[in-house]
Amino acid sequence: MDVSYRQPGVVLTDRWFSVPLDHDAPGGERIEVFARECVAAGREGAGLPWLVYLQGGPGFGANRFSGKQAWLGRALRDHRVLLLDQRGTGSSTPANRQTLPLRGGPREQADYLAHFRADSIVRDCEAIRPEVTGGAPWTVLGQSFGGFCATHYLSAAPEGLRAALITGGLPTLDGHADDVYRAAYPRMERKSLAHYARYPMDAERARRVAEHLAEHEPVLPGGYRLTVEAFQSLGILLGTGDGSHRLHYLLEDAFVRTPAGHTLSDAFQEAVLGILSYAAAPLYALLHEACYAQGGRPTAWSAERVRADFPRFDAGKSLADGAPLLFTGEAVQRWMFDSDPALRPLRETADLLAQRTDWAPLYDPARLAANEVPVAAAVYHDDLFVDTGHSLRTARAVRGLRTWVTDEYEHDGLRVSGPLVLDRLLGLVHGEL
């Protein structure tokens, strides 16, 4: 049953929808998808057009706002908003180490998770749209992986769209995961060196932490094994607007003096665990490379394989040579399923997904070339998470797509800019800019 309640300036309604697990077998198993309807207070009865929000990830539920935070206030000026928890996330039917054993063993789990990519998410949207809008098309706002979903939407069901707004999420249309990571590691290196240029003292601090980890390899609260490679993956912070500062403050308090000598502080370990653990979003680790998979090739732990082509990321060599320790980010690697207790039970499932070759194509270049849906995309210059060159090539392949390329924001521009990024995109699709 739908439940309505209020926050400052907003009326919210929690809604649940039943959708097929496999849309090609509509009479088979069904799962639940949750969405939160938002409308500005006092406009509950207004005939507003709908905007559906698709979160980044994969594997994260929609934002849990308090009132008109971030971009939501701007959206509610003109729209009724649906914050969708994509299948397997948030309050939708969960998929994690606790629930996946209900499916059976690793093979059954992998077969189940094969239905959790962008193509199934878009078909969920089309299944619930008639109930939500009465059949009218809606605007989709896709952040990061949500932009991948929006691009698939334009390929598969453009008749369901009034407009598409994409922020930091124009994917490569035909690139393999290997191509994605060959482009990603040089960006990670640039971000690492830019961090050290801003905070020169952090080069020695990071080296000291890495040396300690190489010798001791501590186990964090809850059982997370903090290896040097895990420490390097804190570079995921460098893809956000304030991430370099957060990394700096994390490193400056890494050690504490004890009767037994200096060791990693409890505060540092707790903060690191909060950043690195996938307990709250295991689908991100399980399906991250699968969101690029198509064309009959396995992903085969692409990020880990490609990393070997970039020896400067070898921490042991950096420590031996006195070179700066490079951070990584936006890269899921097999060792994570050994380090993270939330992922360990899913290691065989992840291996099976990495070996899979029967992924369906995600994008239709011919249909995108003939696109008639108004589309605008914010492309963040040197985005850590999505390659700018890949995004701009895709932008040229989608008829009528208008881009806003900016270095004012990092990948989290939609969240941190208040109304500004969304306002710019709406202006572009409405022809006001």
pLDDT, tens digit, 9 for 90 and up, residues 120-159: 999 999 999 999 999 999 999 999 999 999 999 999 999 9
Peptide bond preceding 106 in cis form (omega within 30 of 0)? no
Q: Which of 391, 411, 412, 417 is catalytic?
A: 411
358 is catalytic: yes
d(Cα 22, Cα 341) in Å, to the nearest integer?
A: 29
Q: DSSP letter for 102, please.
A: G
Residues 312 and 373 in one domain: no
Sign of the torsion formed by the C-alpha atoms of 57, 61, 63 and 64 = negative
Tokens of 430: 């409405």
Which of 92, 144, 192, 417 is an active site residue? 144
Q: Is there a catalytic annotation at residue 144?
A: yes
Same structural domain, 200 and 314: yes
pLDDT at 336: 97
Q: What is the DSSP letter of 360?
A: P
What domain range is 143 assigned to? 3-174+363-429
Given a cut of 50, the residues of the chain with pLDDT beneath it are none
Tell me the pairing of strands 10-20 and 3-7.
antiparallel
Two structure tokens written together for 97: 């180490």
- Could you tell me the two tokens for 39? 């409308």
The closest of 132, 139, 20, 127 to 76, measured between CA atoms, is: 139
Distance CA(221)–CA(205), nearest Å, equals: 22
Instruction: Provide the pLDDT for residue 2.
Output: 84
How many domains does the chain fold into? Answer: 2
pLDDT of amino acid 295: 86
Q: Which of 355, 390, 417 is the last residue of a domain?
A: 355
- The verdict on 287 and 384 lying in the same domain is no
Using CA of residue 50, residue 113, residue 19, residue 291, what is the dihedral sign?
positive
**Cβ partners under 8 Å of residue 280, min gap 6:** none
Are residues 142 and 280 both part of a single domain? Answer: no
DSSP letters along 177-243, please? HHHHHHHHHHHHHHHHHHHHHH-THHHHHHHHHHHHHHHH--B-TTS-B--HHHHHGGGGGGGSTTH
Asked whether residue 167 falls in the same domain as residue 182, the answer is: no
Q: Name the H helices within 49-142.
A: 72-78, 106-113, 118-133
Query: What local confidence, expressed as pLDDT, does residue 271 receive?
Result: 97
Q: How far apart are CA 268 and CA 240, in angstroms?
A: 20
Residue 260 confidence (pLDDT):
85
DSSP assignments along 409-424, one per residue = S-TTHHHHTTTHHHHH
- For residues 369 and 348, membership in a common domain is answered with no
pLDDT at position 1, please? 72
The number of residues in the chain equals 433
Give the per-residue pLDDT at 73: 96
Same domain, 331 and 372: no
